[in-house]
């Protein structure tokens, strides 16, 4: 079996598994968010939080709850990280930890994990203790993912409900999504990963003698538990610095397959929840089709570029294997790279910096698309729905009616929120890159010329889109980089969330317009094609100059 054939089989089997997940995981998630019943544990949590689970919130209340919860999370995580550094006097406290968590890194890391970005300006195994990994970072891996799903569900409620200002209760959504969706899948996934060879212990590792006779300390730890939610919650923060390229995180080709499946399963299944909640499954299929079209095209292109192996070094070496692990090979690495950047995961099993110029451009483009195909858990669905709203607006005019999407009119207020949402990430990326170039902070990069520029573009694109993967090749643990990327992550997460909830509130207040022959059908191939076109064209128009000076200059 050639590499290409194996790669195609790998992708096809993934697609088949995701199709099953769309149906069954999607229906399960729908039942969870629509449920009336509160479990015993859940009622206990509500009592502790002092929340009335039957009291629904307006969009403002929902947004305030999201922001308050996230603020507390950031403060807690920041304090936790500083505590490790100051009180326990790490590095003396734990033998394996030899790096400090300075305030700028603590800020960056706290923001990074709360915003579901999981940008890591540090090396996990040598900076974070097991306690921080488990009680600090892994907890955020769960709840930051749940926040994303909750916001997406609130937006869908906006579409589905009529003449109300109530969008549900954030605390209920958060609790249920964590306990009924993320936790069960994570437990099953962790067991499978352990079976596949991922380590899970509380020890501080093993000392081994290598072939050359040298002593080497292999860091162990509670890896599998963190690994599974890292993928499932599209977080991406690795236990180890080299992330899913590490044999303890991702030992074999089939764990690689499982990890990609875990990354994609919730984002791809959420459109089902949308279809079910608005009472028209075809709408869910349409959104799924848009996501799948872009995703398949992107995965295919990344594979083509990497297998093609353009560039001097790959040509000389025979293949673009630099920065890739032979366990996975070209194709499975490329597919992982596409999956991790099409979602907001940011886990890597190979080093994007070492990809061919155009192959390395694909992860950047994927993130620039706004991570909507399928995107992060929740954030992918709401991002895509915003783009669908913008498409409906222009397309709807062309059929001679005030545009409407699943029965809700897209007027000035809706367009205001959608436009603001759309503006945030390009603004953060472009201003961030320009600032790095103008202030000279690009000098921490490893490469020069277009490739070095790509490293800077990658960093801000990843931070602002809450992806968290790094191109590598650039040192970002400096006060300037930690602060700047921290801001990009924070604003890139919560401003869009506020606008999404604002849009949801505005939609929920409307009474739906019944569909007729004069209504733009939003479940037909024509519309699906239009959304794909709008996504690609808007992104191309915004970022083409930047891409031209980076990967395009290098790769053409």
Partner 1 sequence: MTVTSVATPHPRPQPRKVGGGLLDPRQLWKSLPDALRKLNPATLWRTPVMLIVEVGAVFTTLLAIAQPSGFSWAITGWLWLTVVFANLAEAVAEGRGKAQAATLRNAKKDTMARRLTGWSEGAPADRYREESVAASALARGDLVVVEAGQVIPGDGDVIEGIASVDESAITGESAPVIRESGGDRSAVTGGTKVLSDRIVVRITQQPGESFIDRMISLVEGANRQKTPNEIALNILLAALTINFLLATVTLQPMASYAKAWQGAAPDTPAFGADGISGIVLVSLLVCLIPTTIGALLSAIGIAGMDRLVQRNVLAMSGRAVEAAGDVSTLLLDKTGTITLGNRQAWEFLPAAGVTVEQVADAAQLSSLADETPEGRSIVVLAKEQHGLRAREEGFMPHATFIPFTAQTRMSGVDLSEGNADRQIRKGAASAVMKWVRDNGGHPSDDVGPAVDAISGQGGTPLVVAELVTGQPARALGVIHLKDVVKSGMRERFDEMRRMGIRTVMITGDNPLTAKAIADEAGVDDFLAEATPEDKLALIRKEQEGGRLVAMTGDGTNDAPALAQADVGVAMNTGTSAAKEAGNMVDLDSDPTKLIEIVEIGKQLLITRGALTTFSIANDIAKYFAIIPAMFAVVYPSLDALNIMRLSSPESAILSAVVFNALIIVALIPLSLRGVRYTPSSASRLLTRNLWVYGLGGIIAPFLGIKLLDMIISLIPGIG
Using the Cα atoms of residue 278, residue 156, residue 119 and residue 537 in order, give the sign of their dihedral: positive
192 in contact with partner 1 (CB under 8 A): no
Identify whether the C-beta of residue 505 lies closer than 8 Å to the C-beta of residue 167.
yes
Q: Which lies closer to partner 1 via its Cβ, residue 244 or residue 542?
A: 542
d(CA 382, CA 148) in angstroms, rounded, equals 9
CB of 313 to partner 1, least distance (A): 17
> Is residue 519 at the binding interface for partner 1, with CB under 8 A as the rule?
yes
Q: Which is nearer to partner 1, 195 or 394 (CB)?
A: 394
Helices 223-232 and 253-277: crossing angle, nearest 10°?
Answer: 40
Which token pair is 516? Answer: 């007729």
**Which residues, 522 to 541, sit near partner 1 by CB under 8 A?**
524, 526-527, 530, 533, 537, 540-541
Q: Give 278-286 contacts, CB < 8 A, sequence gap 24+.
A: 278/156, 278/159, 278/160, 278/406, 278/407, 279/160, 280/406, 280/523, 282/523, 283/406, 283/522, 283/523, 284/26, 285/523, 286/522, 286/523, 286/524, 286/527, 286/528
> Shortest gap between Cβ of 543 and partner 1 (angstroms)?
7
For partner 1, the closer of residues 314 and 512 by Cβ is 512
The 375-414 site mask, x for binding partner 1 (CB under 8 A), equals: ---------------x--xxxxxxxxxx----x--xxx-x
- Minimum CB distance to partner 1 smaller for 229 or for 476: 476
- Considering the complex, what minimum distance in angstroms separates the CB of residue 285 from partner 1? 17
Q: Which among 180, 150, 148 is positioned nearest to 28, based on CA atoms? A: 180
Q: Which of 113, 140, 542, 551 is in the footprint of partner 1 by CB under 8 A?
A: 542
Candidates 261, 422, 458, 471; binder of partner 1 (CB under 8 A) is 422
DSSP string, 181-209: IIHHHHHHHHHHHHHTT----SS--EEEE
446 sits near partner 1 (criterion: CB under 8 A): no
Nearer to partner 1, 21 or 395 (CB): 395
431 is a contact residue toward partner 1 (CB under 8 A): yes
Asked if 279 is part of the footprint of partner 1 (rule: CB under 8 A), the reply reads no
H/E segment holding residue 105: helix 103-114
Residue number, 26 or 550, with CB nearest to partner 1: 550
Q: Which two tokens stand for residue 62?
A: 């929902």
- The secondary structure of residue 179, as a DSSP letter, is I
Residue with smaller CB distance to partner 1, 48 or 412: 412
In terms of CB distance, is 240 or 442 closer to partner 1?
Answer: 442
Of the listed pieces 5-13, 90-98, 112-120, 430-438, which binds partner 1 according to CB under 8 A? 430-438
Q: Is the dihedral of CA 125, 126, 128, 131 positive or negative?
A: positive
Which CB atom, from 273 or from 424, has the smaller least distance to partner 1? 424
* 546 contacts partner 1 (rule: CB under 8 A): yes
Q: Total residues contacting partner 1 (rule CB under 8 A)?
A: 66
Task: Give yes or no for residue 548 binding partner 1 (CB under 8 A).
Answer: yes
116's tokens = 């579901």
- Contact between 72 and partner 1 per CB under 8 A: no
Question: Is-cis flag, bond preceding 288, omega within 30?
Answer: no
Q: What is the largest CA-CA distance in the chain?
A: 77
Q: Is 552 in the site for partner 1 (CB under 8 A)?
A: yes
> Are 217 and 205 spatial neighbours (Cβ–Cβ below 8 Å)?
yes
Alpha-carbon distance of 545 to 549, in angstroms, equals 7
Min dist CB 322 to partner 1, Å, is 21
Phi-psi region of 370 (alpha: psi -120 to 50; beta: other; left: phi over 0): left
Q: Rounded to the nearest whole angstrom, what is the least distance from the CB of residue 420 to partner 1 in the complex?
A: 7
Pick one of 101, 121, 430, 459: the residue that binds partner 1 (CB under 8 A): 430
Q: How many CA atoms lie within 13 A of 19 on its CB side?
A: 7
Closest separation in Å from C-beta 398 to partner 1: 4
Three-state DSSP at 409 gives strand
Residue 487 in the binding site for partner 1 (CB under 8 A): no
Question: Near partner 1 by CB under 8 A, which window of 184-192, 263-271, 493-501, 508-516?
Answer: 508-516
Q: Minimum distance between the CB of residue 391 and partner 1, rounded to whole angstroms?
A: 11
442 belongs to the binding site for partner 1 (CB under 8 A): yes
Give the Å distances, CA to CA, from 298 to 132, 291, 371, 378, 448.
36, 11, 12, 20, 27
Window 86-145: residues binding partner 1 (CB under 8 A): none
Site for partner 1 (CB under 8 A): which residue of 139, 310, 495, 549? Answer: 549
Residue 434 binds partner 1 (CB under 8 A): yes
**Other C-beta atoms within 10 Å of 61: how many?**
18
Is 420 one of the binding residues for partner 1 (CB under 8 A)? yes
Distance CA 392, CA 287 (A): 13
**What is the spatial distance between Cα 413 and Cα 407, in angstroms, rounded to a whole number?**
16
| CB 256, min distance to partner 1, A | 34
Based on the shown chain and the rule CB under 8 A, indicate whether residue 416 belongs to the binding site for partner 1.
Answer: yes
Angle subtended by helix axes 357-368 and 525-547, to nearest 10: 120
Residues 453-482 vs partner 1: string with x where CB under 8 A?
x-----------------------------
Residue 476: closest CA among 530, 509, 436, 524: 436
For the bound state, the minimum distance from the C-beta of residue 448 to partner 1, rounded and expressed in Å, comes to 6
Q: Are 408 and 280 in contact (CB under 8 A)?
A: no
Question: Residue 454 in contact with residue 429, Cβ under 8 Å?
Answer: no
Give least dist CB 67 to partner 1, A. Answer: 23
- In 408-503, DSSP assigns E strands to 408-409
Is residue 312 at the binding interface for partner 1, with CB under 8 A as the rule? no
Positions that interact with partner 1 (CB under 8 A): 390, 393-402, 407, 410-412, 414-416, 419-420, 422-423, 426-427, 430-431, 433-435, 437-438, 442, 448-450, 453, 511-514, 516-521, 524, 526-527, 530, 533, 537, 540-546, 548-549, 552-556
């Amino acid at each position: 079996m050639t590499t290409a054939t194996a790669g195609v089989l790998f992708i096809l089997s993934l697609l088949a598994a995701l199709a099953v997940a769309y149906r069954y995981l999607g229906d399960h998630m729908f039942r969870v968010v629509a449920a009336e019943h509160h479990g015993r544990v859940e009622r206990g949590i509500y009592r502790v939080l002092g929340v009335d689970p039957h009291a629904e919130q307006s969009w403002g209340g929902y947004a305030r709850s999201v922001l308050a919860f996230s603020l507390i999370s950031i403060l807690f995580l920041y304090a936790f990280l500083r505590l490790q550094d100051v009180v326990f006097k790490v590095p003396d406290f734990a033998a394996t930890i030899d790096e400090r968590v300075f305030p700028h890194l603590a800020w960056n890391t706290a923001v990074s994990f709360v915003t579901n970005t999981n940008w890591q300006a540090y090396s996990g195994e040598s900076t974070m203790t097991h306690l921080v990994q488990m009680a600090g970072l892994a907890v955020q891996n769960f709840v930051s993912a749940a926040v994303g799903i909750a916001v997406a569900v609130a937006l869908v409620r906006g579409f589905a409900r009529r003449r109300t200002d109530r969008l549900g209760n954030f605390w209920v959504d958060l609790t249920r999504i964590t306990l009924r969706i993320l936790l069960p899948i994570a437990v099953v996934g962790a067991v499978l990963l352990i079976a596949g060879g991922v380590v899970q212990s509380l020890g501080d590792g093993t000392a081994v003698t290598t072939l050359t006779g040298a002593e080497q300390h292999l860091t162990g730890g509670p890896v599998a538990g963190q690994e599974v939610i890292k993928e499932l919650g599209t977080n991406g923060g690795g236990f180890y610095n080299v992330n899913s390229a590490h044999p303890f995180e991702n030992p074999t080709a089939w764990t690689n397959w499982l990890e990609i499946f875990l990354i994609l399963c919730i984002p791809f299944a959420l459109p089902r929840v949308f279809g079910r909640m608005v009472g028209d499954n075809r709408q869910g299929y349409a959104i799924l089709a848009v996501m799948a079209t872009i995703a398949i095209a992107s995965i295919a292109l990344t594979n083509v570029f990497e297998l093609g192996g353009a560039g001097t070094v790959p040509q000389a070496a025979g293949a673009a294997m630099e920065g890739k692990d032979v366990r996975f090979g070209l194709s499975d690495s490329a597919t992982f790279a596409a999956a991790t950047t099409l979602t907001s995961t940011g886990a890597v099993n190979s080093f994007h910096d070492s990809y061919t110029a155009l192959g390395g451009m694909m992860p950047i483009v994927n993130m620039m698309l706004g991570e909507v195909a399928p995107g992060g858990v929740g954030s992918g669905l709401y991002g895509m729905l915003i783009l669908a709203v913008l498409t409906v607006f222009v397309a709807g005019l062309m059929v001679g009616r005030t545009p409407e999407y699943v029965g809700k009119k897209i007027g000035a207020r809706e367009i205001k929120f959608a436009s603001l949402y759309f503006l945030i990430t390009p603004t953060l990326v472009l201003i961030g890159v320009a600032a790095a170039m103008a202030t000279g902070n690009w000098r921490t990069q490893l490469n020069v010329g277009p490739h070095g520029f790509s490293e800077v573009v990658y960093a801000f694109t990843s931070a602002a889109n809450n992806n968290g993967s790094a191109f590598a090749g650039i040192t970002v643990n400096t006060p300037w980089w930690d602060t700047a990327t921290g801001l990009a992550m924070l604003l890139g997460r919560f401003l869009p969330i506020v606008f999404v909830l604002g849009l949801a509130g505005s939609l929920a207040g409307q009474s739906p317009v019944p569909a007729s022959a004069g209504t733009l059908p939003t479940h037909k191939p024509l519309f699906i094609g239009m959304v794909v076109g709008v996504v690609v064209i808007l992104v191309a128009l915004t970022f083409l100059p930047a891409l031209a000076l980076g990967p395009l200059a290098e790769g053409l």
